[in-house]
Amino acid sequence: MITAKAGAELSAKIVAQLKPGYHCNSDKPSDEYLIPLKLTWTPAPLEVAGIVYPKPQMEKYTFSEKPLSVYTGDFEIVTRFKVPATAHLGPAVLSGKLRYQACTDRMCLPPKTVDVSLPITVVK
């Protein structure tokens, strides 16, 4: 359980791990048709001050004419939250969704959205 002080900021890190041989598109894919990695949070009870995606790798694949902006292996996404001074005190759960679409060099998996949650306690 994370303690969030009203009026302060806190950061949460999501650690993702792709299986060897897989990649997913970065938050800013190289092609308009590609599906970006995207993390979204339900606004309450904290405010999202910013989401920091890792620096993508530019990788060339059999199917791509030019290198693609991707993530592979382990990577982290950091979210900075602002705790409103008026936030309701006590326990709460931050809910988010991470959407991604993964491929290998020869095939792609359908886009997927996974739920993420972070239990917190807001204190004075």
Partner 1 sequence: MSTIRLLAIASLAFVGAATLSTTGCSNTSAAAVKPEKDRKVAPDFTLKDANGNLVKLSDYRGKVVLLNFWATWCGPCKIEIPWFIDFQQQYRDRDFAILGVSFDDDGWKSVKPYIEQKKINYRVMIGTEELSTLYGGIDSLPTTFLIDRTGRVAKMHMGLVGKDEYQSEIQDLLNGKQPAKAGSLLSPGRFAFIRAE
In the complex, the residues that contact partner 1 under the rule CB under 8 A are 2, 10-19, 22, 24, 33-35, 61-64, 68, 78, 98, 100-112, 114, 116-118
**E strands along 9-86, which residues?**
9-17, 23-25, 38-41, 47-52, 57-59, 68-72, 74-82
- Rank residues 76 and 85 by Cβ distance to partner 1 and give the closer one: 76
Task: Output the six-digit token pair for 36.
Answer: 């970006």
Nearer to partner 1, 43 or 65 (CB): 65
CB of 124 to partner 1, least distance (A): 20
Burial tier of 18 (Cβ tally within 10 Å: 0-12, 13-18, 19+):
middle
Residue 120 Cβ vs partner 1, minimum distance, rounded to whole Å: 8
